[in-house]
Amino acid sequence: MASQEILRGEPSRGSFINDPRIRSLFFQTLVVILLFSSIWWIVHNVIENLQRLHIASGFGFLKSRAGFDISDTPIAYTSDSTYFRALVVGLLNTIIIAVAGIVLATIVGFLIGIGRLSQNWLIRKICTVYVEIFRNIPPLLVIFFWYSGVLAVLPPPRESIHLPLGSFLNQRGFYLPRAVWADGSWLIGVALLLAIAMAWFVAHRARQRQRATGQQFPVFWTSVALIIGLPVLAFLLSGMPLTFDFPKQSTFNLTGGFWIKPEFLSLLLALSFYTAAFIAEIVRAGIRGVSKGQTEAAAALGLRSGPILRLVVIPQAMRIVIPPLTSQYLNLTKNSSLAIAIGYPDLTATAGTVLNQTGQAVEGVFIMMIAYLVLSLVTSFVMNIVNARMALVER
Amino acid sequence: MQEHDMSWVRTEMALAQPAPPTERGAYAWVRKNLIGSVGDTILTVLGIAIVLWILPQIINWAFINAVWTGPDRTVCTTASQGGIQPDGWTGACWAFVNAKFGQLMFGTYPIEERWRPILVAVLFVALLVPMLIPRVPRKGLNALLLFVALPIVAFFLLVGGVFGLPHVETPRWGGLLVTLSLSFVGIAVSLPMGIVLALGRRSKMPIVKWLCIVFIETVRGIPLITVLFFASVMLPLFLPEGVSFDKYLRALIGVSLFAAAYMAEVIRGGLQAIPKGQYEGADSLGLGYWQKMGLIVLPQALKLVIPGIVNTFIGMLKDTSLVLIISMFDLLGVVKQNFADPNWATPQTPKSGLIFAAFVFWLLCFGMSRYSMYTERRLDTGYKR
């Protein structure tokens, strides 16, 4: 042991104060002592404070009756349900708004981002103005703008604005016709699944054939025909089992149809328009990050502009785009907690209510943190799979 | 046979001919940028339609039909709503912003004491402007005054209670004062915290490293509202009985912790970008850890990530608007609060107030992002070949 140390070279100044290992050990012990003593101090204070305020600790409260109503309930919930169920409803609402927001933000963001690279000066300028406006305003303000500035000053239900396809817009929200599926509609779902499976199979075979013989097969149009054609065929065969429930105007309100509440609508619009501005910048940077030589080389190989974009530019741009896009998705999910400001019952809002009613602040904040961390982890996990598929495979 | 020399050598350069008319001037520009192809032309028409549809509405609403001054809601309401405007009128109610301007800037800070925030603002601008102009010398002294002296002076001026200044409790602060002071103090606190966290994350000591990773990743994984909830409801529980924090201080702690985690990641990016040779060079000179970091690595790393720091600051300025959820009134909070004022309740009030607030935020954030782009370009030149 000792001989080994001599071989590695004993520090010339024998003082152990200058030994990096001992120093590191000393500092880490210090950190651990500080950490544990402050944790001990905090826990001690918390216990004392809770006893003084007569608040029971632990998660037992989750089983008691909630006693408050929630306006949007994707699963059955009444004020007699438990706190746990209330939190689940909140979590589901967060997931709904996050998924809807991510889809809309991606669509708008890609359109604007591509628009910023357009040959067309006017489109370029319009997209730039959009990005520069929305990037520099707090998202909360955008939410309020839609909620109190736009949706709240729409006419009352009696003077609803008629929109095409039998939908209505008024200060109580957006009313759409709701599809009512009669018996036999399961056939359509089966047909759709079948069509997707067949399209996948066709694409697979076409790729194999192209690799073997070089012959191409119009995969895209075949898939479109399959995915649209088969369900339509099933729809006709099963006797058209679809009717629409149109919203109807009664004296004070609209009845029937599919009702989107203004809270959801303003949150969705604000989050997706805000995030879209950032996504647009990411997309622009991604496409510009593909060097011009790639496009030119593809053109020299005889590819036309469509295949150049599809086979050469977009796959490379996606490699640049996906990691920052993931963090924008995470941001959107986290920003959905702003729902509390306009009373959309997402996780933060319901947990906040639970926290106020029971006084169990520690558990409430803990649940919120865990839920958001898990959501973030799931999102990054999914995006990492996408990223791994897109990443450069080095041979 | 007489020799004819047919060769001819031009002795002067031919004058450059002007480009053909289709390739120059406004027409060529329009052809290239607006009507290059059929698709382009359709897009242009669509774009013009959008602009023609939106722009007149905005101009009408914000300028032509707008009401600039007035005592109460009657100036911004139509006859059927009990006001003086003709029915069917829509326009911005800037009179509302005008009437509430003091509140939007200072909240309910006592009117006779408002010279104090104004003085702080003047000092801030006086120190900030030379800081931002690269040619002005004595940056070190300037930074010291801006980041150390000014916060101390500002603290005594704004809070008061000493030197004969009356004490102003923080619940009376509001508006832009809260927005700016929260974000400025937040950045002043979160920058050093971020540096420490970033160094900790790259440290060779496993315990320190993992503590930093856990802190950074947890904070980055949860929304700011949760952090603010934590600061407003859990911090009081953490303290022994009788000790309590000001609400403003609690929000400040929440915002700073949140920003520190993001700042740490930005700075870590800078630390990673410094070539290994710099670290080894410092080691071979016999510098200790803090000398190595403070004299060699951090100055280079921080310079690299100035744009990132500014972006974090922009994010933080936007995020301070969230303190409204723990019932503090920043600029957005004051605007929101005043929707409830019966004296000014009109259909146009919310939109006008929010657009004013949006304009202020936009001006600050856009200005900062432009400055950061300028800095990026300026600092970039050193590395170009």
Give the model's confidence band at B260: pLDDT under 50 very low, under 70 low, under 90 confident, else very high. Answer: very high
Provide the ipTM.
0.84
pLDDT at B125 over 60: yes
Crossing angle (nearest 10°) for helices B247-273 and B306-319: 160
B231 Cα to chain A: minimum distance (Å): 10
- Region A368-386 average pLDDT: 86
Q: Report how many helices (DSSP H) and strands (DSSP E) chain B contains, helices first.
A: 18, 0
Give the residue on A whose Cα is nearest the Cα of B242: A49
Its domain, for residue B316, covers: 98-383
Residues B62 and B138 in one domain: no
Dump pLDDT digits (tens) for B79-111.
777 777 777 788 888 888 888 888 888 888 888
Percent share of chain A, pLDDT over 70: 93
Residue A254 pLDDT greater than 60, yes or no: yes
Rounded to whole angstroms, how far apart are CA atoms A190 and A201? Answer: 16
Contacts of B199 in chain A (CB under 8 A): none
Torsion of CA B169, B174, B177, B178, to 10 degrees: 80
CB pair distance less than 8 Å for B223 and A122: no
Question: Within an 8 Å CB–CB cutoff, is residue B310 touching chain A?
Answer: no
Average of per-residue pLDDT across B369-377: 84
What is the percentage of chain A residues whose pLDDT exceeds 90?
18
Q: Quick one: closest CA in A to B318, which residue?
A: A138
Domain boundary, last residue among B59, B94, B129: B94
- To the nearest whole number, what is the mean pLDDT of chain B? 84
b/e map A139-163, b = 16+ CB within 10 Å: bbbbbbbbbbbbbbebeebeebeee
pLDDT at A44: 85
What are the structure tokens assigned to A251, written together? 């004296």
Residues B249 and B311 in one domain: yes
CB distance B79 to B86 below 8 Å = yes
> Is the same domain home to B70 and B112?
no
Label residue A14 by pLDDT band (50, 70, 90).
low
B40-52 pLDDT, tens per residue?
Answer: 888 889 889 989 9
Which strands, in side-by-side order, build the sheet including A173-176? Answer: A161-163, A167-170, A173-176, A258-260
Same domain? B112 vs B232: yes
**Domain limits of chain A?**
2-52, 83-154+264-390
What whole-number percentage of chain B has pLDDT above 70? 98
Query: What is the per-residue DSSP string for B360-371?
Result: HHHHHHHHHHHH
Domain tally, chain B: 2
Radius of gyration of chain A (CA): 29
User: How far is B208 from A28, CA to CA, in rounded Å?
Assistant: 7
Question: Do B71 and B107 lie in a common domain?
Answer: no
pLDDT band for A252, please (50, 70, 90 cuts): low
B12 in a structural domain: no
Number of residues in chain A: 395
Give chain A positions within 8 Å (CB) of B50. Answer: 126
Q: Are residues B221 and B349 in the same domain?
A: yes
Residue B345 located in a structural domain:
yes
- Write down which residue in B51, B75, B94 finishes a domain: B94
B266 and B357: one domain? yes
- Summarised one tens digit per residue, pLDDT across range B203-238 is 888 888 899 988 988 888 888 988 888 888 888 888
Angstrom distance (rounded) from CA B133 to CA B126: 12
pLDDT digits (tens, 9 = 90+) for A93-151: 999 999 999 999 999 999 999 889 888 888 899 999 999 999 999 999 999 888 888 88
DSSP string, B72-131: SGGGGSBGGGTSSBPTT----BHHHHHHTHHHHHHBT--GGGTHHHHHHHHHHHHHHHHH
Q: Which of A91, A120, A123 to mutate to test the interface with B (most CBs of B within 10 A)?
A: A120
B337 or A3, greater pLDDT: B337
- Tell whether B269 and B337 lie within a shared domain: yes
Domain boundary among B74, B94, B114: B94
In this structure, the answer to whether residues B67 and B159 fall within a common structural domain is: no
User: With an 8 Å Cβ cutoff, are B322 and A121 in contact?
Assistant: no
Whether B240 and B217 have beta carbons less than 8 Å apart is answered as no
User: Does residue A18 contact residue B197 with C-beta atoms inside 8 Å?
Assistant: no
Tokens, residue A315: 């796959």
What band does B195 get if pLDDT is binned at 50, 70 and 90? very high
According to the model, what pLDDT value does residue A3 have?
47
Model confidence over A153-202: pLDDT tens digits?
777 777 777 777 777 777 777 887 777 777 777 778 888 888 889 989 98
Q: How many residues does chain B have?
A: 385
pLDDT of A311 > 90? The answer is no
Flag whether pLDDT at A11 surpasses 60: no
Give the integer Cα–Cα distance in Å for A109 and A59: 42
Residue B7 lies in a domain: no
Confidence label for B385 from pLDDT (cuts 50, 70 and 90) = very low
Residues B133 and B63 in one domain: no
CA distance B112 to chain A (A): 31
* Closest Cβ–Cβ partner in A49, A121, A137 for B34: A121
Average pLDDT over residues A333-359: 87
Say if B146 is an interface residue toward chain A (CB within 8 Å).
no
Which CATH number does A83-154+264-390 carry?
A: 1.10.3720.10
- Cβ proximity of A290 and A313 under 8 Å: yes
Q: What is the pTM of this model?
A: 0.84
Write the pLDDT tens digit of every residue in B17-71: 888 877 777 888 888 778 777 888 888 898 899 899 888 888 888 888 888 888 8
- State whether B182 and B125 are in the same domain: yes
**Chain B partners of A148 at a C-beta cutoff of 8 Å?**
336, 339, 350-351, 354
Answer whether residue B274 is part of any domain. yes
Chain A CB contacts of B332 below 8 Å: 138, 140-141, 144
Among the residue ranges A288-292, A337-341, B76-80, B151-155, the one predicted with the least confidence is: B76-80
B84 and B176 share a domain?
no
Query: For position B139, what pLDDT does the model report?
Result: 79
